[in-house]
Structure 1
Amino acid sequence: MTLQLFAHPFSSYCQKVLIALYENDTPFEFRMLGPDQPKNQAELRRLWPVGKFPVLRDGAQTVIEASTIIEHLQIAHPGPAPMIPADAAAAIEVRMLDRIIDNYVMSPQQKTVFDALRPEDQRDPAGLADARAMLDTIYGWLDAHMQDRVWAAGDAFTLADCGAAPALFYADWSHPIPEHFAALKGYRARLIARPSFARCIEEARPYRGFFPLGAPDRD
């Protein structure tokens, strides 16, 4: 049975999974989510009542959460480009970096977006300030981490880079990476140039008007 991915092309977490699929040229059916696809939306709710996405359907198995989906793909549908190293110690570093990126880049960046979507009288200035401060902190940490590295865990493109690509792409829109963080800005540029993520960017381009902070005229 063909893999089915319930997702939206503008979603950062969906892009995270799409990158892994594209890296390995894994065949799948894209189940587009949105108001014009009520059947897909209903099926998503049946599979995962929380309604968050992406969700992967693999035969009778439902796999939830982007990192777990990528782990599942490596086990059940391995391709030429493993996203998690076979070496156990190297795999721990990749998983650690994946959690750092999700928790300290993706989460605060999404806070800035969700706050902008709220009515003005319901916004959270203190929470927004905390999110921006977290981004400033993690930008500095990542810039130091990326000195003399090509990808997050070294020379190989991994799960950590699948998450870092959309996280840093949108984070720089929401709270720009300072110019003096040259290593981090260079890493972001390499991620944008990676064919798997470049494809995600183009597939998401028609939806940029929905970015509540205003998509910058770049990238």
Structure 2
Amino acid sequence: MLALYGHPFSSYTWKALIPLYANATPFEFREVGPDHPDHAAFVATAHPAGKFPVLDDDGTVVIEATAIIEYFAVRHPGPAPLIPPDPAGAITTRMLDRVFDNYVMANMQRVVNAYIANGDNPDPAEVAAGKEGLLRVYRWLEGWLGENALPPHVSLVTCAAAPSLFYADWVERIPADCPRLAALRAELLALPPVARCVDDARPYRPWFPPGTPDRD
């Protein structure tokens, strides 16, 4: 039995959950939090920085969400085409995975971290830099979407894009001049595996440091 360690409000946990839901892969979710110190202890040992998600497949431990999805594609494949079989398509998929993680998720997290450090007076330079980074990557993605097609859902790109765009739009709204990207976000949130993650995370919304918008 697969066991996935993570938290329902964690964007990277969503990233690992989406392919499991999409392929109806049997697994046990082990929440990491104060109520489950043994789960936290396992993650602290399994990951060099004590971060989740962590996958345990009968003793085979895989860390980092992207690697976990690659593992699913090889060891637990299903109807969802997580990694395109075509090598060129696989390269594009992995490239976009890095874009969403390193430039959408990371810039969103930069703003969140500023609020975690000082909720009443977050560092304005950090907030501005994170938001500027988001606007830059939004416009890059808008241009890319205008000239290229995404791999079919549910792929590694879906898994990276859904949580990053969900939370990033809470920090800095996708602007009106990025209609393709806004449409992609809406499309992703309508996918059943993604909608399940959104719904399971609703009880934790008050935890979002910059404040949760009254939408989604």
Q: TM-score when scaled to structure 1?
A: 0.93
Which ranges in structure 2 are unaligned for 5 or more consecutive residues? none
Matches of 2:28 and 2:40 in 1, distance apart?
15
Secondary structure at the aligned position of 1:147 is classed as: helix
- SS at 2:29 equivalent: strand
Structural RMSD (CA) = 1.7
Q: Within the alignment, does 1:72 sit opposite 2:71 as a pair?
A: yes
CA 1:194–1:121 in 2, change beyond 3 Å: closer, same or farther?
closer
1:87 corresponds to which residue?
86
Match of 1:189 in 2: 186
Helix, strand or coil: the match of 2:62? strand
Look up the SS of the partner of 1:36 in the other structure: coil
Structure 2: which amino acid aligns with 1:210?
W
Distance (Å, rounded) in 2 between the aligned partners of 1:40 and 1:71: 23
The Cα of 1:146 is off from its aligned counterpart by 2.1
- Kindly indicate whether the alpha-carbon contact (under 8 Å) linking 1:146 and 1:187 is maintained by their aligned counterparts in 2: no
Q: Which residue of 2 aligns with 1:3?
A: 2
Cα deviations by residue, 1:4-38 (Å, 9 ceiling, x for unpaired): 10000100000011111111011111010111111
Alignment match, 1:161: 158
Partner residue, 1:172: 169
Q: What is the 5 A alignment of 1:36-185?
A: 36-119=35-118, 123-147=122-146, 153-185=150-182
Which of 115-124 and 103-112 deviates more?
Answer: 115-124
Quote the residue 2:198 is aligned against: 201
Offset from partner CA, 1:17-70 (integer Å, 9 cap, x none): 111111101111101011111111112222225210100001121100000000
TM-score normalised by the chain length of structure 2: 0.94
Check if 1:29 corresponds to 2:28.
yes
**1:212 and 2:209 correspond:** yes
Where structure 1 has 5 or more consecutive residues not aligned to the other structure, the ranges are none
Instruction: State the secondary structure of the residue aligned to 1:50.
Output: coil
Structure 1 position 156, deviation (Å)? 4.4
Please give the secondary structure, in 2, of the residue aligned with 1:216.
coil
- Indicate the larger mover: 179-188 or 139-148: 139-148
Alignment-mate amino acid for residue 109 of structure 2? Q
Residues 194 and 148 of structure 1: CA distance in aligned 2, closer, same or farther (over 3 Å): farther
Residues paired across the two proteins, number:
216
Q: Distance in 2 between matches of 1:215 and 1:107?
A: 18
In structure 2, distance between residues paired with 1:215 and 1:146? 28
Contact 1:108 1:132 in 2 (8 A): yes
